Chains A and B, each alone.
Chain A
Amino acid sequence: MAAKSNLSGSPDADLSSLSDRSLSSRASNRSLRVAEKERRKNDAEDPFVLALKYFSNVEAGTPVHGNDEVEKNLVLVERAAYSKGLSPEAISVMLEFAMSLRMGSGICPRVLKCLIPATVVPQEAVVRAVAWLGVANIPVNTQILFIKWLLTVFDLIDAKDQLRAIYGFIFNFTSEENLCPFICHLLYLLTRKESVRVFRVRKLLELQSKLGRQPFLLNLLSLYKVFCPELVTLSIPSQLKSVFRNHNLPWKSALTVVQRRNSPQVASSLNLFSTSKHKTTSRKRKHHHLGLAMLSSAVNKEPQTETSRQLVPLVQLHSVAQLLENMHRIELPAQMGSLLGSSLGLHYLDCVQDESALLRLNFWLGYTLQEELLFSSDEGSSQSSEESMQFLDKLLSTQHFLQEGFSSSEAFLYKFLSVWDGSVLRPQILGLLSNIPVVPSSQIGQLLFEPLMQLFFTSSLFFKCGLMESLNNMLLKWLTWHSVYALEDDLDISLNSHTSINMTLSGFKDSVMELVDFVGRLASVGLQLEGCHSLLLNFILDFYTTVCDMFLKYGLPLVVVPPPGVFYPALFATDPVSVDRLAFIMHRYKVNLTSAKSQEKLTKQAFRISRQTFKEFNNYAVFMVNCLWNAKLIQPGMSIQLGEELLLKSNVPEYWKSFDLIYHPAFMSYAVDFHQKCWPGRKDMDLDSIKHSKPWNWYLEYLFNQGYDGLKLFIQSNTSRQLTAGDGQGNSLSTE
């Protein structure tokens, strides 16, 4: 950590703030630190202030080349900027100096690059600079650099009202082709409902016909469409996968370093700074780069009755009752991310119909996730991974609260999966994975299955179990959505209340089918590779416990039976729990299939469970009954065939009964125990004697009393127990 903070390389880097992190004796250190800082400040302040004075007073047209004074002063400012960041006043001065081109355009980029705010960026300075953009003859590259800087520090600008007031002015810059992408991004951040006008829409459409369907134009148009759907008739792809491109901003890392270093002092300095604001906004943001900002209103002053409708900032509301009263005139916070931290904000999001809030939140989220998590340039530092973890946990709890995922976190997840090593942030990523909404079956393979399959087969057993659990949760969520949102008459479902993705029932069925098949493949091969590990088997059986009840529990007319690679390992498992769970699953399958069949007969509806499914299920059921109950391992006409000679060659005596309820490796110990209890006096053990009808019934009672309810249900529904063991042929379903 020490090495990292020294990276800035400046001589007056605040080393003492490092030591207080590592040492436990904070109190003594602190006073030392304060004293030292005072001393340093006095030393360093004068030249820095002088330098600023120089830049604010310098004559226009002063030559740069060979001018040592400029060089000296600029170095001073740069040093201060990279170590502590610049104060709001310094930002004003330097920005004004750079954008007015008082010393020509050559020095401008260098000044812009060192504009790293220590606390906030004053809005006035930004507005002035934007004004210079229109007046002065600034080279295009420098203009772009300025807009990029503005985008980077956007969240740090102390208020946005004046910037919004010059929306039209900024909008005009879209006609410059090189600036357009960045201006669009800026406009996206500034747009409110009032800003959407017909002529602007027309202008954007014109640009689109000139430049082609650029993502930045589409993004802005989609926001316009949300605000005023009547103005934008263009069809916009339902899910724009990309947010604005990552500009690889040069200030990002410097800003992070400065903010980290400043974080203990920021709160207090902000308090001093923001005397004009009301109390709740005084601690405007925590200066962790992934920390959530506190709620703060976009307008700096108390709301006035300027327009016909008065807006109430969310931050002034303190109870649900207040929220309900003001529902129609809520003003959203300046930074949407702060909603994640406020439960009232989440309530608002949950019940509001207006899509713009969700769209803005989604946008902010997508940008943040991409910037901070996908491309964490300072990977490896424990602090940043801790922050990411907390951030994702927050996001997850928000998603749990809202009961739906965000499309931006979904897009992030797809990208992250393709570069994931399988261990970084594993619980969080698996959590996000189980929250993603239904993926259309045409894309599910490429987006999800490809990366997951690679990760699954190259990772440890525990990852395999974790992924299985996560996929099970994903299926559960999908099915719950289906059962909640499915309309009864037409079989159309809208997947969540906010986005307009609609999916037909058959589309949904296809997606579920794909998912179940995929897990089936993973499970079969996974079990084979891990030697049928019972932990993994348990997670797999969890999944099939969900699958077998899809029809009755969630009303989805779809039954998928497990593949042989899952069924047989579970049936021949050495632990009785797995066999019991399999029996329960088979029992539920039977109940589901019977009720589907009777319903089909009753309503003569079009949906049908395919004959193949019935056939497969029957095969399994017959095999299982034969195996456990009738002690016949292989029968002609069954799904698996083994040569009789081959089995004889194995020299297992009476091989056909080695998997019945007595000799099955999972139950043998129970049989032995039962034998001892039943005939305590007997010296020689003869397990076959359990087969006689009376002890057999006792033995079954004994087994069921051990808690094997699944087995009990299976045997009760598939055999007629009054018959003796010999001919209790399973009365399995017919395929008609």
Chain B
Amino acid sequence: MSLLKPFSKLPSLNTANILLVESEEQFQQSLADVLVEETAFTVNVRLAKSLPLPKENEESRPRIDLVVFIINLTSELSFQSAEASLKYLDPGYLLGKVCFMVTKARNTSVPTERLDAVRKLAAVLSCPLLFAEDQTPDGVTNARERLLSILKVSAGLVPMATALYLSNLTRCTVPPDIDQPSFD
């Protein structure tokens, strides 16, 4: 079992590396296409279906600054796969270098329990939980913007801010049950 480690390699100048993990490989590609268009710094996007990553490329693989788990809420499998992949992540990543991105959250066929489970997972790991509308071009662009703003910090490109600092502000919390009426 090989762990992915956040600090085992040296960073390169003005470069940020992002790893998109999605078991269904649907949203990954379109997101990667827009992510690399960033011009202010070099963005390297690595795609994976699940963790652990294969051993053979380990030497050439750059330091990963941000791991994004993309979860399609309409599929239980997608959630389970992300959950299983988490085991192959060095705990150091959980200090602000992991985030969850959820798609299709506003779908009627999504059981509320699954959304709650994802929230709970993100809250336990103190990671941010982002929602994305993967069907529209605007939604994809917006997802890119949001990932880049986290990536910039976790790759150390924003002065005076660290990944841990940002994740303290953005981490998910288990939400209150607003469906329940509050009885006075």
Name A residues whose Cβ lies closer than 8 Å to a Cβ of B.
213, 215, 218, 235, 237-242, 246, 248, 252, 374-377, 379-380, 382, 385, 411, 414-415, 418-424, 443, 446-447, 450, 453-454, 457-460, 525, 528-529, 531
Give the CA-CA distance A237 to B136 in the complex, in Å.
40
Q: Is the CB of B129 within 8 A of A242?
A: no
Known: A447-B176, A458-B170. A528 touches B161 (CB 8 A): yes
In the complex, how many angstroms separate the beta carbon of A244 from the nearest chain B beta carbon? 12
Q: Is the CB of B183 within 8 A of A459?
A: no
What are 11 A-B pairs with beta-carbon distances under 8 A? A237-B183, A375-B108, A380-B133, A380-B136, A421-B146, A424-B138, A446-B175, A446-B176, A454-B128, A454-B170, A529-B158
Q: Does B29 belong to the interface (CB within 8 Å)?
A: no
CB-CB nearest in chain A for B145: A460
State A377–B136 Cα separation when bound (angstroms): 14
Chain A residues in 8 Å Cβ range of B172: 454
Docked CA distance A453–B138 (Å): 22
Whole-angstrom distance from the CB of B1 to the nearest CB of chain A?
31
Query: In the complex, A161→B88 CA distance in Å?
Result: 65
B87 interface contact, C-beta 8 A: no
Q: Which residue of A lies closest to B115 (CB)?
A: A419
Q: How far is the CB of A427 from chain B (nearest CB, A)?
A: 13
CA–CA, A246 to B106, complex, Å?
13
Residue B54 CB within 8 A of the other chain: no
| Complex contact B139–A453 (CB within 8 A) | no
Flag if A447 contacts B178 (CB, 8 Å): yes
Q: Please, which residue of chain B has its CB at the minimum distance from the CB of A238?
A: B184
A418 touches B139 (CB 8 A): no
Min CB distance B43 to A, Å, is 16
Instruction: Flag if A525 contacts B169 (CB, 8 Å).
Output: yes
Residues of chain B with a CB closer than 8 A to A213's CB: 183
Question: At the interface, yes or no: B94 with Cβ under 8 Å from chain A?
Answer: no
Cα–Cα, bound, A529→B160 (Å) = 8
Pair A460/B139 contact, Cβ less than 8 Å? no
Kindly list chain A residues whose C-beta atoms are within 8 Å of the C-beta of B130.
Answer: 421, 454, 458
Other CB < 8 Å A-B pairs besides A213-B183, A454-B172, A457-B170, 10 of them? A218-B181, A237-B181, A241-B180, A241-B182, A376-B106, A379-B135, A379-B136, A458-B130, A528-B161, A529-B153
**Closest CB in chain A relative to B102 CB, distance in Å:** 8
Q: Out of B106, B145, B178, which one reaches A411, CB within 8 Å?
A: B178
Q: Convert B130-148 into 0s and 1s, putting 1 for each residue whose CB lies closer than 8 angstroms to a CB of A.
A: 1111011011011101100
Q: Is B109 at the interface (CB under 8 A from chain A)?
A: yes
A530 CB to nearest chain B CB (Å):
9
* In the bound complex, CA of A240 to CA of B184 (Å): 11
For the complex of A and B, list the 9 residue pairs with the smallest distance between their C-beta atoms, beginning with the closest.
A380-B135, A423-B142, A377-B108, A419-B105, A375-B108, A421-B131, A460-B145, A446-B176, A458-B146
Nearest-Cβ distance from residue B27 to partner chain A, whole angstroms: 12
B57 contacts A by Cβ under 8 Å: no
Beta-carbon nearest neighbor of B138 in chain A: A423
Q: Using Cβ atoms and an 8 Å threshold, which residues of chain B touch A377?
A: 107-109
Contacting pair A423 B133 (CB below 8 A): yes
Asked if A453 meets B170 with Cβ closer than 8 Å, knowing A424-B139, A458-B130, the reply is: yes
Contact residues in A for B153 (Cβ distance below 8 Å) = 529
Report if B44 contacts A (CB, 8 A).
Answer: no
A459 / chain B contacts, CB cutoff of 8 Å: 145-146, 149
Q: Is the CB of B150 within 8 A of A379?
A: no
A447-B178, A460-B145 known; A423 and B139 CB under 8 Å? yes
A422 to B135, CA, bound (A): 15
- In Å, the complex CA distance between A658 and B133 comes to 49
Answer yes or no: B58 CB below 8 A from chain A CBs.
no
Q: Which of B161-179 contact A (CB under 8 A)?
A: 161, 166, 169-173, 175-176, 178-179
Residue of B nearest to A213 (CB): B183
**Cβ of B178 and Cβ of A379 under 8 Å apart?**
no
Interchain CB contact (< 8 A) of A421 among B143, B158, B180? B143
A179–B114 CA distance with the chains assembled, in angstroms: 27
Q: Which of B133, B142, B150, B182 contacts A237 (CB 8 A)?
A: B182
Interface contact B181-A242, CB-CB below 8 Å: yes
